[in-house]
């Protein structure tokens, strides 16, 4: 027997661990050896007491057997309740009805909003309040936090004296005066109880935050109204009278300077919280993050303040994060994608002491005003994410939400997660392509201020935003070299790619450059971008391919953000059409329209305008003098705008027999607008094919409309929806169809000519 095995022998009496043969009684009534030892040393009464106690509370008389002494649980968060703020008096603020229709179709900011939330909490046993009267003792899970009116001093931490005096004046106004102020206001209404309700709403938010900070509750839910995040320091707006969350945050920072030095305000209301943002625009102690429907500033509140480029001012630069949805219809997948890619990395890096959620539920599925599809489970997951911050110090304050069923179900799920329930499973987790683009732009902007968003730990991102923000102002704010400075010092990849393509076309396809002799900026910028086959002047049939630059598929270094050139490929679909056209004995003109140009004219360059100038120049200075009798256009990407523009501004009908175009989602449809005669529209429709990606915006909201999708009008040409996404896939799917259409169009022309 080896030494290690000898150690396994029980030291008591030196007996081995080999199992003994047990009696039938022992097999039927197995007893833990330690308990059996205790039984032998106790009376029958003691043994009875021993078995009636929970295992963890058994106190064995022989201290030598104790391995871990009884210890009080080292838990602070779990035993605490979740705080709840609610007061029926906040329902007194209501719109004054002036007609029967207002009575049957009440204002969206309905007093029942908070009642329905409170009611559903009771229906699911989270609180005990049979009469729904707002009783103090609400059960074992939640603790009632008394609501009080916010003081004058607290309100003035955010709002001006004039603003407060105006809201106070509504107490004594006549009905006519109240209606007049309602008419003048920015989506607000007033009655004589508006001041009381607004002060209670504001005070409730303060008390909910105080209860968390003081450790009386583990987290809190403030079911308050009227909402607050649109109320600016000097004016009410958007159903909001006082900026509840902003006042609460400033009050906490003022009264708890040692324990709360930094606060995160996460605003997931579907509208941008312009009031909250303005309150902290230059305050580095508060990180304001807002996810909202923006639509380039057209969605309420209808200003540019919600743009991704609004990053704060003065000392607050970098502490304002806007995630602006460019479209409606976003849902769980989009919000969770934003949380994973932007919100949580920034929040971890900021390392706050308190998180306040401006919890509007108007992005919830079923809310007509919001037009989005966030599920109760989605709100639960977002709450779960934020509970992981600063030891769970979290306060949820109600903002908007106007579908009574949606707001109640969403708030219920948030409350359950606050109590400790895990969030429900999410279904579709594929974000919209618009979401991916927006988040990419937000990362480009915010990576200037947050290390966690950089391409790597020491990498630098020289990219500018593509759809959000103002590139010029962002470039000025850059701490390192701007993209323009880098471009002037080094060669751009698209220039190198085009140079390589020209060499290939010259060597393999017998192409030559078509010279551009022009002083116009747009035309001159296309020098060496137009190539053609030799003898193009004498060709009877010509294909003109006008396209965006080739795309580069590349692997990116995860640390530096650099592109790995050894793992990069150039994707050039125009070469496919060139090879096919040469096989069919067409003359070929290849027009490459750069997205940007290198040099001093870069800021004034526009690729769409350039595509229009290129084809007009080509037609006026070359094609009309050629011997050609049949022309087909192939337009790819934004460059296709040049084809449509030419067909509307020159009478090309005797020569052009086909126009084939391929569009991805970023390229909008363009209608032919004729300066010649109205029949051009019909001609263009008969002789064109416009292939779009499956989810191109021209087909409307596919998820919402289903088979009842709208169809583009004839002025856009014969628009055909592909079954795939992205430009390369659309070309792959429809390449043969496009080539057959060109051949049929040319053959039909030849047949007609012969018959004539």
- Tell me 235's DSSP state: B
Checking DSSP bridges between strand 551-556 and strand 563-571, what pairing results, if any?
Answer: antiparallel
Radius of gyration of the chain (CA): 35
242/235 Cα distance (integer angstroms): 9
401/416 Cα distance (integer angstroms): 19
Cα–Cα separations (whole angstroms), residue 668 to 6, 42, 440, 663:
82, 88, 21, 8
Phi, psi values for residue 335, rounded to 5°: -65, -45
Residue closest to 398 by CA, chosen among 385, 412, 386: 412
Please name the residues in contact with 569: beta carbons below 8 A apart, sequence gap of 6 or more: 552, 553, 554
115/224 Cα distance (integer angstroms): 10
Residue closest to 329 by CA, chosen among 281, 291, 284, 364: 364
Say which of 230, 272, 547, 645 is annotated catalytic. Answer: 230
457, two tokens? 């730990």
720 membership: H or E segment, kind and range: strand 719-721
Contact 718, 690 (CB under 8 A): yes
335/36 Cα distance (integer angstroms): 58
- Tell me 542's DSSP state: E
Give the ranges where 32-111 is alpha helix by DSSP (H). 33-40, 44-52, 100-104
168/163 Cα distance (integer angstroms): 9
Checking DSSP bridges between strand 587-592 and strand 530-533, what pairing results, if any?
Answer: antiparallel
500/414 Cα distance (integer angstroms): 57
92/73 Cα distance (integer angstroms): 45
| Annotation marks residue 649 as catalytic | no
Cα–Cα separations (whole angstroms), residue 293 to 74, 328, 396:
44, 7, 21
Q: For the chain, what percentages of helix, strand and coil (3-state, to nearest 5) are there?
A: 40, 15, 45
Contact 660, 730 (CB under 8 A): no
Q: How far is CA 174 from the centre of its chain?
A: 45
284/70 Cα distance (integer angstroms): 46
Q: Is the dihedral angle over the CA atoms 95, 98, 103, 105 positive or is it negative? A: negative
Checking DSSP bridges between strand 587-592 and strand 656-663, what pairing results, if any?
Answer: unpaired
Active site residues: 230
């Amino acid at each position: 027997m080896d030494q290690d095995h000898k150690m396994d022998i029980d030291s008591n009496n030196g007996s081995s661990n080999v199992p003994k043969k047990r009696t039938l009684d022992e097999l039927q009534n197995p007893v833990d050896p330690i308990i059996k030892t205790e039984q032998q040393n106790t009376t029958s009464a003691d043994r009875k007491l021993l078995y009636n106690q929970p295992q963890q509370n058994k106190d064995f008389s022989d201290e030598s057997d104790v391995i871990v002494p009884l210890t009080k649980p080292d838990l602070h968060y779990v035993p605490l309740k979740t705080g709840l703020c609610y007061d029926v008096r906040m329902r007194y603020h209501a719109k004054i009805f002036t007609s029967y229709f207002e009575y049957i179709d009440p204002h969206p900011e309905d007093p029942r909003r908070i009642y329905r939330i409170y009611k559903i909490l009771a229906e699911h046993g989270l609180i005990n309040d049979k009469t729904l009267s707002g009783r103090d003792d609400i059960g074992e899970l939640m603790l009632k936090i008394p609501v009080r009116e916010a003081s004058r001093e607290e309100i003035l931490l955010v709002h001006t004296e004039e603003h407060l005096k105006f809201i106070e004046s509504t107490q004594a106004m006549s009905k006519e005066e109240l209606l007049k102020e309602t008419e003048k206001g920015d989506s607000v209404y007033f009655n004589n109880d508006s001041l009381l309700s607004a002060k209670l709403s504001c005070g409730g938010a303060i008390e909910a935050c105080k209860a968390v900070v003081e450790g009386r509750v583990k987290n809190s839910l403030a079911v308050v109204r009227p909402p607050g995040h649109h109320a600016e320091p000097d004016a009410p707006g958007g159903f909001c009278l006082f900026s509840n969350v902003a006042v609460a945050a400033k009050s906490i920072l003022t009264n708890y300077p040692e324990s709360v030095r930094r606060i995160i305000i996460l605003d997931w209301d579907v509208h941008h919280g312009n009031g909250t943002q303005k309150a902290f625009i230059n305050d580095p102690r508060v990180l304001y993050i807002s996810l909202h429907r923006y639509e380039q500033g057209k969605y309420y509140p209808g200003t540019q303040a919600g743009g991704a480029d609004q990053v704060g001012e003065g000392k607050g630069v970098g502490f304002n994060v806007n995630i602006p949805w460019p479209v409606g219809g976003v849902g769980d997948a989009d919000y969770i994608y934003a949380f994973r890619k932007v919100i949580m990395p920034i929040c971890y890096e900021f390392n706050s002491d308190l998180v306040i959620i401006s919890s509007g539920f108007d992005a919830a599925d079923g809310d007509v005003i919001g037009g989005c599809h966030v599920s109760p489970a989605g709100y639960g997951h977002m709450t779960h994410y934020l509970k992981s911050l600063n030891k769970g110090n979290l306060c949820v304050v109600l903002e908007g939400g106007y579908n009574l069923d949606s707001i109640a179900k969403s708030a219920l799920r948030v409350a359950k997660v606050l109590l400790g329930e895990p969030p429900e499973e999410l279904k579709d987790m594929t974000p919209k392509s618009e979401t991916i683009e927006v988040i990419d732009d937000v990362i480009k902007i915010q990576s200037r201020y947050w290390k966690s968003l950089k391409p790597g730990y020491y990498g630098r991102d020289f990219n500018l935003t593509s759809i959000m923000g103002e590139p010029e102002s962002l470039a000025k704010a850059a701490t390192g070299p701007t993209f323009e400075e880098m471009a002037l010092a080094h060669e751009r990849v698209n220039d190198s790619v085009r140079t390589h393509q020209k060499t290939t076309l010259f060597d393999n396809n017998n192409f030559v450059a078509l010279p551009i002799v022009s002083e116009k900026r747009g035309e001159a910028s296309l020098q060496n971008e137009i190539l053609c086959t030799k003898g193009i002047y004498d060709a009877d049939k010509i294909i003109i391919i006008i396209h965006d630059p080739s795309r580069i598929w590349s692997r990116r270094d995860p640390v530096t953000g650099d592109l790995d050139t050894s793992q990069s490929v150039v994707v050039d679909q125009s070469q496919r059409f060139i090879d096919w056209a040469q096989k069919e004995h067409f003359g070929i003109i290849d027009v490459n329209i750069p997205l940007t140009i290198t040099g001093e004219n870069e800021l004034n360059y526009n690729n769409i305008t350039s595509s229009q100038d290129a084809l007009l120049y080509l037609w006026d200075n070359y094609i009309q003098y050629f011997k050609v009798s049949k022309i087909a256009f192939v337009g790819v990407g934004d460059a296709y705008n040049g084809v449509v523009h030419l067909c509307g501004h020159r009478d090309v009908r005797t020569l052009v027999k086909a126009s084939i175009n391929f569009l991805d989602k970023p390229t909008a449809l363009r209608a032919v607008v004729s300066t010649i005669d109205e029949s051009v529209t019909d001609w263009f429709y008969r002789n064109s094919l416009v292939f779009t990606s499956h989810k191109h915006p021209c087909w409307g909201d596919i998820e919402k409309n289903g088979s009842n999708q709208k169809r583009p009008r004839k002025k856009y040409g014969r628009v055909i929806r592909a079954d795939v996404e992205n430009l390369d896939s659309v070309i792959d799917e429809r390449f043969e169809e496009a080539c057959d259409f060109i051949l049929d169009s040319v053959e039909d022309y030849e047949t007609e000519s012969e018959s004539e």
